[in-house]
Structure 1
Amino acid sequence: MPKYIMWGTYCKDVLEKRAPYRQDHLDGLAKQKESGVLITIGPTKDVTKVFGIYEAADEAIVHQLIENDPYWKNGIWTEYFVKEWIQAV
């Protein structure tokens, strides 16, 4: 199955603004991880960017997962892009 990377950007003051949505966000990610579609995801150390790796039948599924996430719906993630990724090693 194809793998995809996601790079995104967080809003300003993310640590404060994410608080009301954080548990729903984490619960959703846990379900994606359990189903096998989410390999890993997390912020950069400075909490300005987010990086994720997904394994899905097609890119549309990844976009749907991202755009249904509470962080996207509530402006915590302000932009993102997805690229198909070839794992060499």
Structure 2
Amino acid sequence: MPIFAVHYTYSDATVEGRDSFRPEHRAWLNGLIDAGSLLTSGPYPDGSGALLLFQVADEATVEQLLVQDPFAREHLIDDVRAVEWLPVMGAFAS
């Protein structure tokens, strides 16, 4: 099954909202991990965004999942880039 790298971009204007909705956002992420759709995720240390790695059937599935993110619902993500990723070495390589 393909892996998709999703890059979120955040701005300083959404810090307060992200702080407020972070528990709900992380509960949503944990549910995806439990379901086997999300491999890992985490913010960039500089606060500019986050990386999420999904393993799902296709890009349409990723898009369906992303609209359910509380951060997306609350308009706390400035930009989203989702691309299929092909790991050739390491922990996620086939």
**Pairwise same-fold verdict (TM > 0.5):** yes
Structure 1 residues without counterparts, runs of 5 or longer: none
Residues 1:68 and 2:68 are matched in the alignment: yes
In the superposition, the TM-score normalised over structure 2's length comes to: 0.86
Report the CA distance between 1:32 and its aligned residue: 0.2
Contact kept? 1:36, 1:55, Cα under 8 Å: yes
Name the structure 1 match of 2:34: 34
| Residues 43-62 of structure 1, C-alpha deviations (whole Å, 9 max, x = no match) | 11011121111000111111
CA distance in 2, matches of 1:47, 1:64: 25
Residues 1:16 and 2:16 are matched in the alignment: yes
Report the CA distance between 1:18 and its aligned residue: 1.2
Name the structure 1 match of 2:44: 44
Residues 1:54 and 2:54 are matched in the alignment: yes
Give, as a single letter, the amino acid of the residue that structure 2 aligns with 1:59.
E
Q: Which 4+ runs in 1 deviate beyond 4 A?
A: none
CA distance in 2, matches of 1:36, 1:76: 25
Q: Select the structure that is richer in strand.
A: 1
Identity %: 29
Give, as a single letter, the amino acid of the residue that structure 2 aligns with 1:88.
V
